[in-house]
Structure 1
């Protein structure tokens, strides 16, 4: 072994292990203190997880909030209008440098697999060139999939199909469309059929911005599922957002969810943007703006969580933290059951890895790449509760990022007390089971 991670706690596991690495590959997972190597990472009982996956982010627009102006209404449509103004002066180096900075934020927080959308509605395809070049430069450190995403729609202008095909020639990885933003329902259906046809011809993956609206009559997800089945594209297709599903009647929603499960279509929910942008026209009560995550999971649909925006015209906040996104979804989708919290963690790891079709290389198993993160938390539940520091980010045995944990001390009645926010064990429930604080003064 040339590297050992000592006293690691793997997802879903109660006992600690050591992880031995040779030449960037996990060679052995064994009992603590059984492996030796010249380099050691001390996990100290912390959670060692596969890296976080962000299956839906717009790096071309990242870090542009306020330029040329802020989205004062907070609506999706104003965001699209602002981005339309910004697109008139897109610059290759600006896009690439902003995207690089956003990716560095994400890596520091444990994200090593990213799917980004590149707007192909502007005729120069500058966004595609910048993001595919960044993808290639970071290959071997961060895996980035670039989606050809026609923000304005394919059939709202004359060159939509040509620009999609040019984006394929420039090397995008995934095909997208936005049927609810087309001029008519017929055009929306045609855009889905066109993209699915391209996927059949090329073997590429598909990720469609679908029904990102409060309109209960926006029902393009069923077209996506039907096309997936008819063209035999099961496992290759993702529907992102699907927020109109929260407004469907229950009978139709049940039928649709069964259809998605049959088609093997993954769904990505984006809690930051969805909760901010949706239901802006509601008085009270206000809808939450989130798709039916609990029902989708219960039906066996693979659901992932995306960050979506990082300080752009649609969402002015964010720092690329998938744990923050997971925590927000837990609250909005009411997934606070004990086992559901672990499900939410899987939505930013295993589920999103499945959506990106990277499961063969993903995970902490003997024989797989030594690509993992060490979190300052004991388990998945605590990781979502605390949204803690990512102490180490490791790719193929190399440390890409390292963070020192925050240290807090509090002085109340009797000297200084170290506060680490750790929770008492649930067993021994009475107050007498809680340890007295250290008030020694040190």
Structure 2
């Protein structure tokens, strides 16, 4: 696939017809479909050999695979790209928390904005069109991060869907009274309420603060829950009690849930069944859990992930996501959700015949968690957030990835990053 899509003339948006598509998830017999993208950036029609007028730009995609944009349902854009400034010699979760807290005390909003925008651009260029980001709000970071991301959410709305989680972060000696007195101002700017109860000095009171604020503001809950491997201190039952009390069934997401892999099977199954009953979703973060967990084990160090395969095969809605990108929590990361899907399949003990399951974990499953609704997917009326690739099917998209790819964000083509000097070198060799 060598066509470069251009949907604008003289800076004006044009309607665009993608002719000859293979739509992800449809059977091979339905190859040769057409997708009409309207001037408003939404999918206007889907059909075969659609008849369009002369004002519509027609691009023959010659059987290219069309996927909806990828969804990264758990990132930390306020932390992204700070690795060189935040050493974490221990490689542990606590070491990472302390390193970033020190940096956050002096980092201005402009610093957060610059780093976050760079990572958002890299994610978008690799096919991610929706991100939910947890943003620290505490005595160290104050409101710098959430203010910066609220502005970026507005500025990028024409090309990327960004949701903000007010991540009310507890630290030792930062009493919960500060979080309680500031949570309403934070949640007013946010799309969800989050936190990490396992490290709070009083996790029960802390959970009450978070859930009460979510109820007051009509926001969903998105927690970092039990990001550890100590079977003696899980907090699932405390969360379940509050989900029911505050009526947040179907509106609660639990990130990490690593401790489930350390619990006896009977206890895991009891917790799993409560999750299904309360319609609670889970996000696994393989990069962070592989890197941070299990460092104290002298023999057979654990992978640190939750029970990914068992949860998804049992009907629990479970997605996978990047978590941190190039910071003390995860020193690597490119913003490529296909890479994360591969890590999840390998580290989460999915099988080779479950590549399509890993694909669902970066598309439709996290889209439901973010409540993107009819705006998402390859359907009439949805935003034309599309990944166009030369892959045979979604299994090939995950297993090997594309050789050629084009991203459309709300109907507009996203140019692949280019190294300017390369144009001159290619010209010397007459390389097209």
Give the deviation of 1:152 after TM superposition.
Answer: 2.9
Matched with 1:93 is: 110
**Equivalent pair of 1:353/1:359 in contact (CA under 8 Å):** yes
Matched with 1:18 is: 34
Q: Could you tell me which of 18, 31, 35 is aligned with 1:5? A: 18
The alignment partner of 2:23 has SS state of coil
Structure 2 Cα separation of the partners of residues 41 and 232 of structure 1: 48
The alignment partner of 2:134 has SS state of strand
- Residue-by-residue CA offset, 1:290-309 (whole Å, 9 max, x unaligned): 11112211222111111011
Q: Check if 1:355 corresponds to 2:364.
A: no
Matched with 2:120 is: 103
Matched with 1:166 is: 185
Q: What pairs with 1:237-252 in structure 2 (closer than 5 Å)?
A: 237-252=252-267
Q: Could you tell me which of 217, 224, 246 is aligned with 1:209? A: 224
Structure 2 Cα separation of the partners of residues 331 and 35 of structure 1: 45
Structure 2 Cα separation of the partners of residues 43 and 261 of structure 1: 41
Q: What pairs with 1:369-380 in structure 2 (closer than 5 Å)?
A: 369-380=383-394
The alignment partner of 1:238 has SS state of strand
Structure 2 Cα separation of the partners of residues 119 and 2 of structure 1: 40
The alignment partner of 2:158 has SS state of coil
Q: What pairs with 1:17-416 in structure 2 (closer than 5 Å)?
A: 17-23=33-39, 24-31=41-48, 38-68=56-86, 70-122=87-139, 124-153=142-171, 156-157=174-175, 158-169=177-188, 171-183=189-201, 187-338=202-353, 340-388=354-402, 391-402=405-416
- Residue-by-residue CA offset, 1:164-218 (whole Å, 9 max, x unaligned): 222124x1111011110112xxx11222222112112211111101000111123
Structure 2 Cα separation of the partners of residues 32 and 316 of structure 1: 48
Structure 2 unaligned spans of 5+: 1-13, 419-432
Give the deviation of 1:32 after TM superposition.
Answer: 5.1
- Structure 1 length-normalised TM: 0.86
Structure 2 Cα separation of the partners of residues 40 and 92 of structure 1: 43
**Equivalent pair of 2:195/2:210 in contact (CA under 8 Å):** yes
- Shifted more, 214-223 versus 231-240: the winner is 214-223
Give the deviation of 1:155 after TM superposition.
Answer: 8.2
Structure 1 Cα separation of the partners of residues 311 and 66 of structure 2: 28
**Equivalent pair of 2:183/2:213 in contact (CA under 8 Å):** no
**Equivalent pair of 2:325/2:332 in contact (CA under 8 Å):** yes
- Structure 2 length-normalised TM: 0.87
The alignment partner of 2:84 has SS state of coil
**Equivalent pair of 2:355/2:399 in contact (CA under 8 Å):** no
Structure 2 Cα separation of the partners of residues 303 and 376 of structure 1: 28
How many residues in Structure 1 have an aligned counterpart in Structure 2?
398
The alpha-carbon distance between structure 1 residues 154 and 5, as it changes in their structure 2 partners (threshold 3 A), is farther
The alpha-carbon distance between structure 1 residues 248 and 137, as it changes in their structure 2 partners (threshold 3 A), is same
